[in-house]
Structure 1
Amino acid sequence: MEIRLSTFVETTPDVQTGEVTSHAQRIREVVEEIVLGDQVGLDVFGVGEHHRKDYAASSPAVVLAAAARSFEGALYVGDPETVAEKIIHLRKHVGITRFMLHTPVGSMPHEDVMNAIELLGTEVAPRVREEISNWEKEL
C-alpha cells in the first residue's frame, strides 16, 4: 500500500493571526514538506495546480523541481549517465511520471543543441525508460 500526501499549496489566512503567508514563503515551506516526506519514507507527495490568488503553485513541476534540487541538484547537466540518474531519481523519489527538459537554444551553438538532443534521445531516454520499467516491475 502506498502512503501519499498532496497539497494545492494553499495560502489561506492563519486561523490565529489572520495573516496570509506570501506565495514565496509557502513555496519554501512546501519544498521543506516534500523533502521531509521523502526522508520519513512517504511514497508520493503530490502537488496540485491552481491559478487563483489563494494558491501558490500554478506550476507543480516547478515546485517539484525545487524539491528535487534538495535531493541531488536541479541542474540536468553532465554526461548522459548523470542526467539519466537525476531523472530516474525524480521518478523514484518524487513520483513524477513526465519530464520536460529545456535547452537554451538561443544561447548555445546549433551544433551543441543538436548534440544534446541526440544524446537525450539515444542515451538518456532509453536508459531512463529501461531503469524505470525494471523498477516498476519490482513494485
Structure 2
Amino acid sequence: MEIGISTFLEATTDPATGKAMNHAERLRNAVEEIVLADQVGLDVYGVGEHHRADYAGSAPAVVLAAAAAATKRIRLTSAVTVLSSDDPVRVYQSFSTLDGLSNGRAEIMAGRGSFIESFPLFGYDLDDYDRLFDEKLELLLAIRASEKVTWRGGLRPAIDNLGVYPRAVQNPLPVWIASGGNPESAVRAGMLGLPIAFAIIGGMPERFAPLVSLYKEAAARAGHNPDTLQIATHSHGFVADTTEQAADMFFPPTQAQMNVIGRERGWPPYTRDSFDAARSLRGALYVGDPEFVAEKIVLLRKNLGVTRFFLHVNVGTMPHREVLRAIELLGTKVAPIVRKELAKL
C-alpha cells in the first residue's frame, strides 16, 4: 500500500496571527515538504489545482517539477488537474515534461473540480461542466496512447494527425480519475480501466464501499481485471507526537478554512464537536499520534481495499515546522506500522 501527502498549497489566514501566508513562501515550503517526504520514504506527493487567493497551487506541474531534481523515488502527481477548464494537449505536455525531469515519476489525477473559479477564468461555460470533462478526458487518453493524434469533439477545435511532444518516459503516462463520490465518476473510471481516487472529507469512509463495488463491476463489464486496478483515497489529517497535540494544532486552521468554504456553500458553522467526531476511529479525519493514524489507515484498507492513501495535511495555514514534523512522522512511524499490519492480512 502506498502512503503519501496531498496539498492545495493553502495560503489562508492563520487564525493565530491573523496574517495570510505569502504565495511565494508557500511555494518554496512545498518544495521542501516534497523533498522531506522523499527522504522519509513516502511514496507519493500530490498538488491540487486552484485559482483563488487562498491557495498558491494554480500550476501543480511547475511546483512538482521544482522538486523533481531534488528527489529520487517519490511519485509526483496533480491532486487534481481540473481537466474541464484546461487543454489536454498542454496537460499532457506539462506532465510528460515532469515525467522526463523526474525519470518516470509523474502522474496526472484528472477531475472536474469542486471549485468552479477556473471556468470563467479560462472562458468556459458551466453549462458544459460534464460535457467538457468527458470530451477532454477522451482527448487526453488519445494523446497518451499515440504520438500522432487525430481527434474531433464538439467543444474544442479538432486535431488532424499532429504530434504532441515531449513523449513521457512512462508508457502510458499514468492518468487517474478523481471523484468526490459521484457514482458516474466511479463507473467512468471502471469502464476505462483507469485508477480512481476518492476524496473522503466527511462522514464515514466505509460508506464509500458501494462506490468501490460500482467501480469494480464497471471495470469487469468492460473487460478489465478489477483486481489489478488501483484505488486511492484522499482525507484531511495531521500527525503529531500525541493525539492531543495533533487535535489542538489541527483544529483552529481547519475550522477557519471550513467556515470560509462553508459560507460559500451554505454549510453550518464548523465546531469542535464536529471535528472531534470526525477524528474518531470510523471518521474521515486522520488526526492523532502515529499509532492511531496507522490504525485508521489499516481499517480503511480492510473496508475499501485501497492501494494508496493521501493524507491532506494543510487544510489551512499551519506553521511550516509542524507540517514538516507531520510528514516526518507519517513516513518514519505511520507507514512502517501500516505496512507491518497489512503484511499480516
Q: Give the TM-score normalised by the residue count of structure 2.
A: 0.24
C-alpha distance after superposition, 1:67-98 (max 9, x if no partner): 113238xxxxxxxxxxx9x7273533xx4359
Q: What are the within-5 Å matches in structure 2 for residues 40-55 of structure 1? A: 40-55=40-55
Greater Rg, structure 1 or structure 2? 2
Judging changes above 3 Å, is the alpha-carbon distance between structure 1 residues 40 and 18 closer, same or farther for their aligned structure 2 residues? same
Does the 8 Å CA contact 1:90/1:96 hold for their aligned counterparts? no
Instruction: Please give the alpha-carbon distance, in whole angstroms, between the structure 1 residues aligned to 2:8 and 2:38.
Output: 18
Identity %: 54
Equivalent in 68, 77, 91 of residue 104 of structure 2: 91
What letter matches 1:5 in structure 2? I
- Flag as ranges the 4+ runs of structure 1 deviating above 6 A: none
More strand by share: 2
Shift, 1:65, TM fit:
0.7
Structure 2, unmatched stretches of 5+, are 73-96, 110-162, 174-345
What letter matches 1:87 in structure 2? G
Judging changes above 3 Å, is the alpha-carbon distance between structure 1 residues 64 and 36 closer, same or farther for their aligned structure 2 residues? same
Aligned to 1:18: 18
Shift, 1:129, TM fit:
3.8
Aligned to 2:186: none
C-alpha distance after superposition, 1:18-64 (max 9, x if no partner): 11111000000011001100111111100000001110010100100
Instruction: Please give the alpha-carbon distance, in whole angstroms, between the structure 1 residues aligned to 2:2 and 2:40.
Output: 13
Judging changes above 3 Å, is the alpha-carbon distance between structure 1 residues 53 and 90 closer, same or farther for their aligned structure 2 residues? farther
What letter matches 1:33 in structure 2? E
More helix by share: 1
The number of residues matched between the two structures is 98
Shift, 1:12, TM fit:
1.1
What letter matches 2:37 in structure 1? G
Aligned to 1:114: none
Give the CA RMSD over aligned residues: 3.5
What letter matches 1:20 in structure 2? A
What letter matches 1:27 in structure 2? L
Structure 1, unmatched stretches of 5+, are 73-83, 99-116, 133-139
Does the 8 Å CA contact 1:7/1:48 hold for their aligned counterparts? yes
Q: What are the within-5 Å matches in structure 2 for residues 59-78 of structure 1? A: 59-71=59-71
Q: Greater relative contact order (Cα 8 A, min sep 6): structure 1 or 2?
A: 1
Judging changes above 3 Å, is the alpha-carbon distance between structure 1 residues 129 and 49 closer, same or farther for their aligned structure 2 residues? closer
